[in-house]
Amino acid sequence: MKKIAEALREAFLKPGTSTCFCIKLVSVEGEAFGFTTLDTDIQFDDGIHNIVYDSTQELSPQNIQQEAAYESDNTELTGWFNDVIEQMALAGRFDSAEVTIYRIAYLRKELGAEVVAYGSLGEVDFSQDNDGKRKVEYRGLTQQLQTKTIPLYSLTCRAKFGDDRCGMVFQWEAATVTSVTDNPFLVLTVSGPAQIDDYFNLGVLEGLTGDNAGAQIEVETWNTTGEIKLSFMAPFAFKVGDTLRIRRDCNKTEAMCLAYGNIINMRAEHLTPVQDRSVMVPGANIKSVGAQ
């Protein structure tokens, strides 16, 4: 059974609508953002962050379902947010962000708050409904405990490039934006790296300064003139003078691991016999002895 302060419980029981939800998101950089169902901004200190909960960017929990047993909390958040928050979400700053849902008596903030739910941010649905609202997935802690995993095997490496299992150290090269095209979200020219054509193809570009600071985007093509074409549009337009860094990536094949001199750390069953490489499934289409 959930326990809350007696004075706060009595405030909740009083007639009238003097309660509201406050949803706090903490980004991967540790920056806190507040949203409320109240029709006016409200400042609230939860003991960790003293922030203003924005009423113009509503996030409201829908059909909260919680059980005393170890079942996953079931809810989603709906609402709207401005272009800045949307672009931050597209840049990955809210991936697995910390989510806390409070219920407070906004006329008696000194009584504290009820913690309705605590977990992490899941998928953000950027398609709007007829009211312009979007859906945001909430993932409770018990859901993460209940997620089932099974051992996998594959012809390509299962390690994430640069993680502890891979062991490779990223070789970043510094660069500065010298010019942009009519589409500054997708094509730019930089100074700094002096690599051959296609060297950074399918690599990673990360913004260091400017509006795209912290965003990592896949590089589609690179040439020696310093022109970079991105595979996906950047969250913000690049500007002359923005600094960034760029590196190669790994396609997780045996040939790439050999090129990096890291075949001993390859996490793949790449020697598994495969008759038809277009299928790329170990053992597919291999007939047993005597089969017709």
Q: Pull the structure tokens for residue 118.
A: 């605590």
Higher pLDDT, 71 or 186: 186
Whether residue 97 contacts residue 118, with contact meaning beta carbons closer than 8 Å, is answered with no
**Reported confidence tier of residue 282, pLDDT bands at 50, 70, 90:** low
For residue 10, the model assigns a pLDDT of 78
Residues 106-163 pLDDT 10s: 888 888 888 888 877 766 665 555 555 666 666 666 655 666 666 677 888 988 899 8
**Reported confidence tier of residue 73, pLDDT bands at 50, 70, 90:** low
d(CA 4, CA 94): 29
The residues, ordered by sequence, that sit 6+ positions from 78 with a Cβ below 8 Å of its Cβ are 59, 60, 62, 133, 134, 135, 136
On the question of pLDDT at 256 being above 60, the answer is: yes
Average pLDDT over residues 165-193: 94
For each of the domains in the chain, give its residue range(s) and CATH number, in order of start. Answer: 6-146 (no CATH), 173-247 (2.40.30)
For residue 19, the model assigns a pLDDT of 83
